Amino acid sequence: MSHYYRLVISCPDRVGIVARVSGFIAGHGGSITEASQHSDLATGRFFMRYEILADSLGMGAGELREAFAPLAREFDMTWSLHDTRERRRVVLMVSRETHCLVDLLYRWTAGELDCEIAAVISNHDDMRGLAEWHDIPYHHVPVIPDTKPQAFAQVEQLVDVTGADCIVLARYMQILPPALCERYAGQVINIHHSFLPSFAGAKPYHQAYQRGVKLIGATCHYVTEELDAGPIIEQDIHRVSHCHTPDDLVRFGRDVEKAVLARGLRWHLEDRVLIHGNKTVVFA
């Protein structure tokens, strides 16, 4: 099967970037199968993503990175080149609400998510059977107030051991410690069960019910130190009415959460999400 290099760049905008980068690729015979650019006029920052057919280039990813480095330096780029044969390693974290976990595992089985699932970590033991049925290691790390630091030290160690480069909080109802957020900045994806910035924090569907909103939502975002305030990747909504109880909102919400998290994670895994301050550029 064909594999691809994904070249992702962010740099100060100036004349000629596209010409130089595309010229570089063409100069090596590279066939670009997908190209996206964005110039942010407010900040003067430029973003691009190229998907290049690997076999069209006469070199491997390492060699390509080396060849590209001088150009990257010249334009002061923040950049990465990702070979699609090197599949990302994802750790899924979950608490009692399991719909997102079940949904992601199904999508992964169906080939919708291009990654390895390195482990499932939970503060409960309920989903061990399902994880192991998928041949995925399951780690039960209870989190109780008295031993939180130890628990998260264990979580961090488990993530280290798996060599994961992405952590998905698939309705994991514990707050990660700031140090962990910082260490994995831009690699931890959360699904929040409200249309942020409305109803941050606990029990958002009950907050929504109390406020009498006519649409509920879910938000997929990168985790930062400040709770529910990180860069938003994707959001969606579901219509509700006076007929619906908080339980109905929770039920509708499950579907929105599943869909939003699955889209956000897929885009992240395909290098389509570029962080820009506290916002994202998403080349969906």
Query: Which residues form the catalytic set?
Result: 228
Closest CA to 153 of 143, 167, 163: 143
Please report, as ranges, the residues that interact with its own copies according to CB under 8 A: 15-16, 18-20, 22-23, 25-27, 29-35, 37-42, 56, 99, 102, 106, 110, 112, 133, 195-199, 211-215, 217, 231-237, 241-243, 245, 251, 254-255, 259, 276, 278-282, 284
Q: In a 3-state reduction of DSSP, which class is residue 109?
A: helix
Q: Which is nearer to its own copies, 39 or 80 (CB)?
A: 39
Rounded to the nearest 5°, which phi and psi values hold at 35? Answer: -140, 135
Residue 54 beta carbon to its own copies: minimum distance, rounded to whole angstroms: 14
- What is the amino acid identity at position 45? R
Q: Report yes or no: 200 and 228 within 8 Å, Cβ to Cβ.
A: yes
Tell me the C-alpha distance between 97 and 124, whole Å: 10
Q: Which is nearer to its own copies, 130 or 153 (CB)?
A: 130
Q: Which is nearer to its own copies, 127 or 155 (CB)?
A: 127
Residue 77 beta carbon to its own copies: minimum distance, rounded to whole angstroms: 16
Tell me the C-alpha distance between 114 and 224, whole Å: 25
Tell me the C-alpha distance between 262 and 114, whole Å: 12
Residue 168 beta carbon to its own copies: minimum distance, rounded to whole angstroms: 18
Residue 268 beta carbon to its own copies: minimum distance, rounded to whole angstroms: 14
Tell me the C-alpha distance between 11 and 242, whole Å: 49
Q: At what angle do helices 246-269 and 204-211 cross, to 10 degrees?
A: 130
Residue 148 beta carbon to its own copies: minimum distance, rounded to whole angstroms: 29
- Cβ neighbors of 211 (< 8 A, separation 6 or more) are 199
Tell me the C-alpha distance between 84 and 271, whole Å: 10
Q: Which is nearer to its own copies, 162 or 194 (CB)?
A: 194
